[in-house]
Amino acid sequence: MTARTLNLDDSLYQYLLDVSLRETPLLKRLRDETQALPMARWQVAPEQGQFLALLVKLTGARQLLEIGTFTGYSALCMAAALSDEGSLICCDMPGDYNAIARRYWEEAGLGKRIDLRLAPALQTLGMLDQPGEFDLIFIDADKANYPAYLEHALRLLRVGGLAVFDNTLWSGRVLESHPQSADTRAIQALNRALKDDARVDLSLLPLGDGLTLCRKR
């Protein structure tokens, strides 16, 4: 037995995938195509996508919001887990990768369930006049705006809804004493603020690059 989280080496991580990952051939093709892009590091890990889909089902979520979509892997995982009446709004910037996301969503038969809005995320969020209507919000965009995304998430989530932040362990850079990166400083600020934020219930999971779950009280 152990009283702390395991450190996964390559062999143990592969075992985790071998015994638990239920990635469809379509998702695997999307992941492989994305890995050929210069920005491949932006893609979520496959076990994270599966975990997000499970959260959608566990919470019975119908209205989803994603901030940072890239080639659409996590969006595809979550949209496929929705019931027929569910919907997902995705916020991202214009880029060549938008076409990849749309192509795979259409192939999966989920194109009509996903609304991709291309503009700075803070602009899109400011225009959403749906306070308290979202069930789950996944945040995986520019890290410097994470504290601002938290405030928008808490405005838009229903009581009991989940905000999920990716990259909150930031490959260990959160340990830097005097970070030069605005992204690192923003993640550090978010993590410190969430620790004592009475508006949420909190758990930071060592999944992928760190995944923080915030349940709105």
Reported as a single tens digit per residue, the pLDDT across 116-148 is: 999 999 999 999 999 999 999 999 999 999 999
For 54-84, write each residue's pLDDT tens digit. 999 999 999 999 999 999 999 999 999 999 9
> Is 185 a domain residue?
yes
Q: Which residues contact 72 (CB under 8 A, 6 or more apart)?
A: 30, 90, 100, 101, 102, 104, 105, 114
**What domain range is 175 assigned to?**
10-216
pTM of the full predicted structure? 0.96
How far is Cα 113 from Cα 133, in angstroms, rounded to an integer?
A: 17
Give the full edge-to-edge strand order of the sheet including 87-92: 114-118, 87-92, 63-67, 134-139, 157-166, 211-216, 200-205
> Is 176 a domain residue?
yes
> Is 115 a domain residue?
yes
> Is 1 a domain residue?
no
Q: Which CATH number belongs to the domain containing residue 185 in this structure?
A: 3.40.50.150
pLDDT reported for residue 4: 86
> Is 5 a domain residue?
no
User: β-pairing, 211-216 with 157-166?
Assistant: antiparallel
Instruction: Give mean pLDDT, residues 104-117.
Output: 98
> Is 2 a domain residue?
no
> Is 74 a domain residue?
yes
> Is 102 a domain residue?
yes
Q: Which residues contact 63 (CB under 8 A, 6 or more apart)?
A: 86, 87, 130, 133, 134, 135
In the three-class reduction of DSSP (H, G, I as helix; E, B as strand; rest coil), residue 41 is classed as: helix
Total number of domains in the chain: 1
